Every structure is written in structure tokens, then in C-alpha cells.
């Protein structure tokens, strides 16, 4: 178990976790590598301040559900 874990950020597509990390910036970097058209980091930072689930739909209509899990 990771001590002092504040949150886990996960990107889910087609019912599979495709990207995850304990740091939003690192998770966004990984998401950006597989989805270059995703929104910028600041957008996700602001959205995760307001809610724990954010949906991203790429230009090909592939849906990503981004989620912040807290212990």
C-alpha cells in the first residue's frame, strides 16, 4: 500500500483502464501521448477541482472517462 496516497487518477476507455497515475500531471502526460488532441492540463486541473469525473470525447468519437479516486 502506498503511504500518504492523496488521489489516484484514471482514464478509462472501452471499460478498460488505459492510463493511471497518482499525480494528475503525470496522468495527463500519458493521456496526451495516446490522445494528442485532448484538452490541456490546466483544463483538467480546474475540472478536477470541481468534480471527480471528467469525460473526454476524441475527434473519432472514442470516449474517455477520467476519474479521480480518493481514499
pLDDT in tens, 2-35: 678 889 999 999 999 999 999 999 999 999 999 9
- Grid cell, residue 9, equals 487518477
Tell me which residue has cell 488532441. Answer: 37
The arithmetic mean of pLDDT across residues 33-53, rounded, is: 96
1 has pLDDT over 80: no
DSSP H helical ranges for 1-71? 24-34, 41-50
Q: Angle at Cα 51 formed by Cα 49 and Cα 55, nearest 5°?
A: 115
Report d(CA 52, CA 65) in Å as an integer. Answer: 10
- Specify the length of the chain in residues: 71
Amino acid at each position: 500500500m502506498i503511504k500518504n496516497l492523496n488521489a489516484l487518477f484514471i482514464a478509462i476507455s472501452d471499460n478498460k483502464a488505459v492510463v493511471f497515475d497518482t499525480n494528475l500531471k503525470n496522468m495527463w502526460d500519458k493521456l496526451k501521448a495516446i490522445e494528442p488532441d485532448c484538452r490541456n492540463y490546466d483544463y483538467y486541473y480546474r475540472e478536477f477541482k470541481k468534480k471527480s469525473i471528467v469525460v473526454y470525447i476524441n475527434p473519432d468519437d472514442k470516449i474517455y472517462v477520467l476519474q479521480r479516486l480518493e481514499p
